[in-house]
Amino acid sequence: MYNFNFHAASSLDDAVAKLGAAEDGTVMAGGQTLIPVLKQRLANPTDVVDLSGIAELSGISASGNGVTIGAMTTHAAVANSSDVPAALRAVAEGIGDPQVRNRGTLGGSIANNDPAADYPAALLGLGATITTNQREIAADDFFTGLFETALTDGEIIKSVTFPNATKAAYAKFPSPASRYAMVGVFVAQAADGVRVAVTGATDCAHRGPKLEAALSANWSPDALDGITIPPDHLNSDIHGSAEYRANLVIVMAKRAVAAAG
């Protein structure tokens, strides 16, 4: 790991100012991705601004319409909160291992946008809204590509608001080694209709229009019989071929619908 200047930010304004003053600054949340990246020298920031001291960035608050979760809220806190709907708790509970969940955060996970990360599927599946220090971004516009998001330089995620859904569930086929999703599918009957989001299969999490159409007509696992996913643009690696993942998308979608009831 190359060395860098470390700053503990005391407020969001302080973090923005410290990032602005840095030659090449980056924010750190739980560090569960950033520290491995720094160790491998895949990034070489001059300055790292730690967000952990900013109280307003963590916490969970439920309202009649949904739940808002601060960017710095750990996966463990989400998994154990009675204010969080069960489907979302299950997403957090399935991330990595207990030690990763004790440090990794919601904001860090979605800012990183790993192709196999779990939270992006939940945000897309529930039609969440991301609030940054500058604006609100719909989940549908946020995840733009491999490790790419709509965030601009210096933009910091404050919180994510998840609207209530009538029914929702997540089904994931974890890589036996890392626990990241080989494929994960989040399904929901949301206020704006049926939403299906797939992670692990391609560059980044995305909606599944064919699956949404089938489930809108008939909310049942059988409704997905006969749908095939073309493997052309799917991820293929030592853990599984594109064809294998294409099949997993349907299997996980069926399991999620069955679990949602």
Partner 1 sequence: MPTVSMTVNGKSVSGEVEARTLLVQFLRENLNLTGTHVGCDTSQCGACVVHVNGDSMKSCTMLAVQANGADVTTIEGLAKGGEMHPMQQAFQDNHGLQCGFCTPGMVMSAIDLVAKNPNPDEATIRSELEGNICRCTGYHNIVKAVQQAAKTMGG
Ligand X SMILES: Cc1cc2nc3c(=O)[nH]c(=O)nc-3n(C[C@H](O)[C@H](O)[C@H](O)COP(=O)(O)OP(=O)(O)OC[C@H]3O[C@@H](n4cnc5c(N)ncnc54)[C@H](O)[C@@H]3O)c2cc1C
Residue 180 binding partner per list partner 1, ligand X, none, with a CB distance cut-off of 5 to 8 Å that depends on partner kind: ligand X
β-strand partners of 25: 47
CB of 157 to ligand X, least distance (A): 4
Regarding 32 and contact with partner 1 (CB under 8 A), the answer is yes
Give CA–CA dist 156/150, Å, rounded.
11
At its nearest, how many Å lie between ligand X and the CB of residue 131? 10
The window from 47-55, 58-66, 211-219, 232-240 that contacts partner 1 (CB under 8 A) reads 47-55
Q: Which of 10, 20, 24, 39 binds partner 1 (CB under 8 A)?
A: 39
1 vs 138 by CB, closer to partner 1:
1
Closest CA to 193 of 165, 162, 171, 170: 165
- Find which of ligand X, partner 1, none residue 48 binds, CB within 5 to 8 Å per kind: partner 1
Q: Two tokens at 110?
A: 């979605």
Phi first, then psi: what are they for 178, rounded to 5°? -95, -20
Residues interacting with ligand X, by CB under 6 A? 26-34, 51, 71, 95-96, 100, 104-105, 107-109, 111-112, 114, 117-119, 151, 156-157, 178-180
Q: Which residues of 176-186 are buried (b: 16+ CB within 10 A; e: fewer)?
A: eeeebbbbbbb
The least distance separating partner 1 from the CB of residue 3, rounded to whole angstroms, comes to 5
Nearest to 158 by CA among 131, 121, 120, 178: 131
* Helix 86-93 × helix 119-126 angle, to 10°: 160
Q: What does the alpha-carbon distance between residue 250 and residue 233 come to, in Å, rounded to a whole number?
A: 16
- Binding stretches for partner 1 (CB under 8 A): 1-6, 8, 28, 31-32, 35-36, 38-39, 48, 50, 52, 76, 96-100, 102-103, 177-179
